[in-house]
Amino acid sequence: MTTEKINNISVTTLANVYFDGKCISYGITYADGSKKSVGVILPASLTFSTGAPEIMECVGGACDYKLPGSDNWVRSEAGEKFSIPGNAKFDIRVAQGFAAYHYICHFG
Amino acid sequence: MTTEKINNISVTTLANVYFDGKCISYGITYADGSKKSVGVILPASLTFSTGAPEIMECVGGACDYKLPGSDNWVRSEAGEKFSIPGNAKFDIRVAQGFAAYHYICHFG
């Protein structure tokens, strides 16, 4: 089961544009003040940096990711999640010609 | 004044990806069931088609637009809106090297 909709939230109207638009996300805030983001990564190979720990939940398409300290690329598809430690770098790649990777980023 | 945040809505987690990612938007739904979208257009010159009439509200960056039946490009910046009739085509361009055009699309 993928999360198709998130209810009762606020959305910031200004997109976060990363890597010349290869990654676009919007910040959302829950009633209790907690924050997540919804985003999409287009075909590219990108290195991200975390502040807080993150959980990346795939809601559509697919990517391959490589965690810090690992040499292995792992596939993540709709309905799957992976966790990244705080203050770390990790890689995401979406193959050319593949569908984009759609995600929810959970912090903390 | 630009609309920086939209409260008490639902967001669809799957992005709409148009024109190879030059335009990305997310659908949002209000408590009364009405729908809008928040989106961003990267540097490109694109032709869009409307179903329902639309109002495009700029919330960041800028674009030039050309309405159906017009030969004039008009600038739209943060805090400004323009209206497009239903079942029509219109053009939006964001110059290379310029900031993206961030918008809220109001329908109907």
The residue extents of the domains of chain A are 10-107
Q: Which residue has the tokens 């809008």?
A: B36
Contact at CB, B6 and A10, closer than 8 angstroms: yes
List pLDDT tens digits, range B57-82. 999 999 999 999 999 999 999 999 99
pLDDT at B1: 77
Q: Which pLDDT belongs to residue A68?
A: 94
Angle at A78 between CA A61 and CA B40, to 5 degrees: 50
pLDDT in tens, A35-54: 999 999 999 999 999 999 99
CB contact under 8 A, A100 and B21: yes
Instruction: Please give the Cα distance from A106 to A5 (Å, whole number).
Output: 15
CA geometry: angle A91, A108, A90, nearest 5 deg: 10
pLDDT in single tens digits along all 108 residues of chain B: 799 999 999 999 999 999 999 999 999 999 999 999 999 999 999 999 999 999 999 999 999 999 999 999 999 999 999 999 999 999 999 998 778 999 999 997
Q: What is the CATH number of domain B9-50+66-107?
A: 2.60.120.10
Mean pLDDT of chain A: 96
Residues of B with CB under 8 A from a CB of A: 2-15, 17, 20-22, 24, 26, 28-29, 38-40, 42, 59-60, 100, 102, 104
Q: Is the pLDDT of residue A108 over 90?
A: no
Q: What is the ipTM of this complex?
A: 0.95
User: Do B65 and B56 contact (CB within 8 A), yes or no?
Assistant: yes
d(CA B47, CA B29): 25
CATH 3.30.950.10 fits A10-107, yes or no: no
Tell me the pairing of strands B74-77 and A74-77: unpaired
- Cα angle at A38 between A87 and B54, to 5 degrees? 145
